[in-house]
Amino acid sequence: MEFEKQLEEWMKLDYVLPEDLPNIELYMDQVTTFLEEQLKNTKRFEEDKIFTKTMINNYTKNHLLPPSNKKKYSRNHMILLIYIYYLKNFLSISDIKNLLDPLNEHFEDSDMKPSFYQVYDEIFHLEHNHNSSIKKSITEAFNKAANTFSDLEDSNEKEKLQQFAFITLLGYDIYLRKQMIEKMIDQLYQPVQSEKKDKKAKKKK
């Protein structure tokens, strides 16, 4: 029961609710201030920054984020930044670009069905409905780790090794999922990029 309470506390992170996304264009300072306030509890250390001007400019230079409109950023910019914020914790910049490219292609398309906002709204609720499954999986890993090193008499040493077993088990899970995500990106998105390059090359000829 004590672990379940701790897990509940650890999983209480800040999220940007779909309805809280401003549907007006904002200047860079307003964007960083809004996201800093909305996501402040996701930071590991208080001095960490959610986004800086330099970060956002670099995302634009690397084509993860479309340029601002006369130094103003739309709700679509904000949605992309939120995805970048979470994805950059476990994916490379090039993988994030490949993943977001299909979405970016419709950045200015007001007739896109579903719209950027609808995509964000649906995925947001999908993720949050999945929380109970994640909690169950983590609890199972904790219980498995708690049954390791049962022959050790030193309770201190046993506890430390069981904690190590739990962390490495979680790490193994993350590693396998990351491998799967990278293989999916390679298979699903990079061929599309290659086709675009081939088309551009043909046009030049």
DSSP 27: E
Residue 177: name the closest of 188, 185, 167 by CA: 185
For residue 196, pLDDT beyond 70: no
For residue 172, pLDDT beyond 80: yes
CA 115 to chain centre: 20
Provide the pLDDT for residue 201. Answer: 54
Mean pLDDT confidence for 29-46:
94
DSSP 66: P
Q: Which of 4-8, 19-23, 123-127, 160-164 has the lowest mean pLDDT?
A: 4-8
Q: What percent of the chain has pLDDT over 90?
A: 76
Alpha helices in the chain (DSSP H): 2-10, 28-39, 53-61, 75-87, 93-104, 116-129, 131-146, 155-188, 190-204
Question: How far is residue 167's CA from residue 53's CA, in Å, rounded to a whole number?
Answer: 35
Question: How far is residue 113's CA from residue 18's CA, in Å, rounded to a whole number?
Answer: 17
The answer to whether 104 and 81 are in contact (CB under 8 A) is no
The residue with greater pLDDT, 168 or 205, is 168
Provide the pLDDT for residue 11. Answer: 86
Mean pLDDT confidence for 141-152:
94
**Would you state the torsion angle of the CA atoms of residues 82, 85, 89, 90, taken in this order, to the nearest 10 degrees?**
50
Provide the pLDDT for residue 78. Answer: 96
Please provide the average confidence, as pLDDT, over all residues in the chain.
Answer: 90
